[in-house]
């Protein structure tokens, strides 16, 4: 069996343990379960594109930039079906520029995920959350909907893509803040490329590596673009 890189051994073990619990591994019946999980540690920074906000927005309140660091975790499973029930969590903290402390927390309670061969997966999830930033973003209750896609490109490369639309409550100043997507309040997305390895860990098809890419956000009538870097782990079942 091909061994995982030492730098990712702990994270791979954690993800494999999650899959073991979620998929009920440890007996013969577990092999009838299908699913997968991924974990991203990441840091991102986005900077405002335009000097003036879109009509009706509050561009000055949006600030010039937002930096966040944290993790994203998703897992899904089903018993013999192509689609599995998906849950997940996002935990991020950082700061606005100029401004102060910023945070973003999401709990995905309902969704579907699917394996795409041994190396790929895709999913759609919805949940609840909260976000805000001192001096620039009023604290608000969030209803996020996210779509993600991960595809292996050869033995070492992996494409990581996700997009999230957010509807906000308790923060009227942030409503209708996505100038391109008028049907929602805020939007963010990332597209990255991971360089790493694929192997089998604890009997599961797995992979890990470092990634970098572009990040995009719309909030308070302004558009932001920047970069994201991080470390990613994925593991599948069946």
Give the domain ranges of the chain.
6-237
pLDDT at res. 49: 92
pLDDT at residue number 9? 47
Q: What is the pLDDT of residue 32?
A: 64
The three state secondary structure string of the chain is: CCCCCHHHHHHHHHHHHHHHHHHCCCCHHHHHEEEEEEEEEEEEEEEECCCCCCCCCCHHHHCCEEEEEEEEEEEEEEECCCEEEEEEEEEEEEEEECCCEEEEEEEEEEEEEEEECCCEEEEEEEEEEEEEECCCEEEEEEEEEEEEEEEEECCCEEEEEEEEEEEEECCHHHCCCCCCCCCCCEEEEEEEEEEEEEEEECCEEEEEEEEEEEEEEEECCEEEEEEEEEEEEEEEEC
Give the separation between CA 131 and CA 137, rounded to whole angstroms: 8
- The stretches in the chain having pLDDT less than 70 are 1-32, 51-62, 238
Q: What is the pLDDT of residue 7?
A: 46
> What pLDDT does 11 receive?
52
Over residues 21-75, the pLDDT tens digits come to 444 444 445 556 789 999 999 999 999 997 544 444 444 556 789 999 999 999 9
* Res 219: pLDDT: 93
pLDDT digits (tens, 9 = 90+) for 153-162: 988 999 999 9
The hierarchical CATH code for the domain 6-237 is: 2.40.128
Angstrom distance (rounded) from CA 235 to CA 217: 28
pLDDT of residue 65: 93
């Amino acid at each position: 069996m091909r061994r995982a890189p030492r730098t990712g051994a702990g994270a791979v073990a954690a993800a494999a343990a999650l899959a073991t619990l979620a998929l009920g591994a440890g007996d013969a019946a577990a092999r009838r379960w299908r699913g997968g999980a991924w974990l991203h540690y990441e840091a991102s920074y986005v900077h405002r594109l335009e000097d003036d906000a879109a009509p009706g927005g509050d561009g000055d309140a949006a600030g010039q930039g937002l930096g966040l660091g944290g993790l994203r975790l998703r897992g899904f499973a089903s018993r013999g079906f192509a689609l599995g029930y998906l849950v997940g969590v996002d935990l991020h903290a950082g700061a606005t520029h100029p401004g102060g402390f910023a945070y973003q927390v999401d709990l995905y309670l309902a969704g579907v995920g699917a394996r795409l061969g041994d190396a790929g997966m895709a999913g759609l999830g919805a949940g609840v959350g909260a976000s805000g930033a001192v001096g620039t973003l009023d604290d608000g209750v969030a209803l996020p909907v996210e779509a993600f896609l991960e595809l292996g490109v050869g033995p070492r490369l992996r494409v990581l893509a996700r997009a999230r639309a957010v509807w906000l409550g308790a923060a009227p100043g942030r409503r209708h803040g996505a100038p391109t997507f008028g049907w929602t309040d805020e939007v963010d997305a990332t597209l990255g490329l991971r360089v790493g390895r694929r192997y089998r860990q604890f009997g599961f098809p797995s992979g890990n590596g470092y990634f970098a890419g572009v990040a995009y956000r719309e909030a308070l009538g302004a558009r932001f673009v920047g970069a994201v870097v991080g470390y990613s782990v994925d593991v599948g079942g069946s």
